[in-house]
Amino acid sequence: MRWSVVATVSEPAPLIISFVAASFARGAAEVHLYLDTPQPALEAVLARVPGCVLIRCDAAYWRAAPEGRPWAPSDRQRYNLQRAYDASAVGWLLHIDSDEFLSASGDVALALAALPTSCLVAQVAVAERVYLAAPDPENIFDGVFRRPNPPRLQAQVDAIDGAVAQFLRQGMTSYPSSKAFFRTGRGLQEDVHSARNVSVAEVGTLQGWRLFHFDGLTMQSWISKKQRTLAQQPGWQAFAPARRAQLAAIAAADATQGGLEALYLSIKQLSPERAAALRALDLITPGDLDLRGDLARVFPGLAVDLSVAGYDGHAVSYVARRAEGWLGRIGAGLRRRIRRLRRGV
C-alpha cells in the first residue's frame, strides 16, 4: 500500500528539510510540498531527492486558481490539498504541516492496508511538544509530548495546569483534534483535518500511530507567530477562548521581551510536579523520533543546523508584514469578487 504526504510550507529550511527526511524515513512514496514562499536555496536541496515534488505557489500558480490566491493560510492549504488529492496516484494521502512528524514505529503501509475498504479517512491522534526543563539551545526538537486529555478529565487537568489552563484546549496550545490519511480515488472533498463528504462510518483511526506536533518550534517563533496573528487578524477577539487568551496575553506583554518569554515558558515548560501529575493520567509520552538519524539517511552529508539560534536566524520580521496582512486581505477579497463576476457567479 503506497502513501504520500502533502503540506503547504513557508517555514525555515531546517524544519522543512527535517520534515522531508522524516516523511521518507517513515516510508512515504512521495512528499508534495506546496511552497507558499519561494526559497531557491532550499528548493535546490530538495529537488535532488527522488519523490520530493515541489510546487511553487507563485503569482502564476494562483492566477490559474478559480478565485486567485486565498488570503487565509488555511484556505490555501485546502486548495493545495484538494489539488494533490485529485491528482494522486497512490492509495493514501496524509495531510500535515511541516512541524508535525509521524510516529517512527511500525510500518505505515501495513497499517493502512489493514483498514477495511469502507474506511475513507484514517485519523491519527496528535500529541504536542512540551519541555521538562529549559529548552535545549542546540536542539529545536528537544522535549517530550503531551497528549490531549479526554473531556472527562478536564477539571482535573485544569487544576494541574493552574493559571495557564486558560491558554489550553484539552491541554494543547494548538489543536487537540486528529489529522488524517485520505483514501484516494474516492472523490473526497478535503478539509485540513478531515473530509467534508464522509459519514461517521467511513472514518476510522490508525491505531498505535501518533503525530508529534512542535507548535512553536522555538520560543521566538511561537511569540512571532502570535504577534503576526495580532497584526493581521483584527477579529482575533472572536477566536476560541484558549487561543484568544494566548493572544490577549501576548498583546499585554508585548512591551517586554522578558514578559513574552516568561509567558511561553509558563505554558510550555512543565514543573516536576505538573509533569508528574500529567504522567499519572497517562498524558505524557517521550516520543520515538530520531530526526538526526532520518536526516543522515535521506540527506547524507548535508549539514543541517538544528540549534535555536540557527533556526531563529531565519525568522521573518512580522512588524514589516503588518501592511502585507491588511493589504493582502483586501486584495484577495477584491480579486475573488472580480473573478466571480467574470464567471457570472
At 115-163, the pLDDT tens digits run 999 999 999 999 999 999 999 999 999 999 999 999 999 999 999 999 9
Length of the chain: 345
**Model pLDDT, residue 273:** 98
Average pLDDT, the chain: 90
**Model pLDDT, residue 320:** 38
pLDDT in tens, 85-97: 999 999 999 999 9
Residues contacting 264, CB < 8 A, separation 6+: 216, 219, 222, 223
For the chain, domain boundaries = 3-343
Out of 33-47, 105-119, 245-259, least confident range:
245-259
**Model pLDDT, residue 257:** 79
**Sign of the torsion formed by the C-alpha atoms of 58, 60, 61 and 67:** positive
Query: Based on the number of CB atoms within 10 Å of its own CB, is 234 exposed (0-12), middle (13-18) or buried (19 or more)?
Result: exposed
- Residue 321 reports pLDDT greater than 70: no
> 64 and 37 in contact (C-beta within 8 Å)?
no
Short-list 266, 275, 273, CA closest to 165: 266
Within 13 Å, how many C-alpha atoms sit on residue 245's CB side? 15
Between vectors from CA 240 to CA 239 and to CA 242, what angle results, nearest 5°?
A: 115
For the chain, list the strands marked E by DSSP: 3-9, 30-35, 52-56, 92-95, 100-102, 121-130, 144-146, 179-183, 203-213, 284-285
**Model pLDDT, residue 318:** 32
Report the interhelical angle of 257-268 vs 241-252 (nearest 10°): 150
pLDDT in tens, 57-92: 999 999 999 889 998 888 999 999 999 999 999 999
Instruction: Tell how far CA 73 is from the center of its chain.
Output: 12
Instruction: Tell how far CA 310 is from the center of its chain.
Output: 20
For residues 338 and 332, what is the distance between their CA atoms, to the nearest angstrom?
10
pLDDT over 90, % of the chain: 78
Q: Residue 151 carries which DSSP code?
A: G
pLDDT in tens, 256-278: 778 999 999 999 999 999 999 99
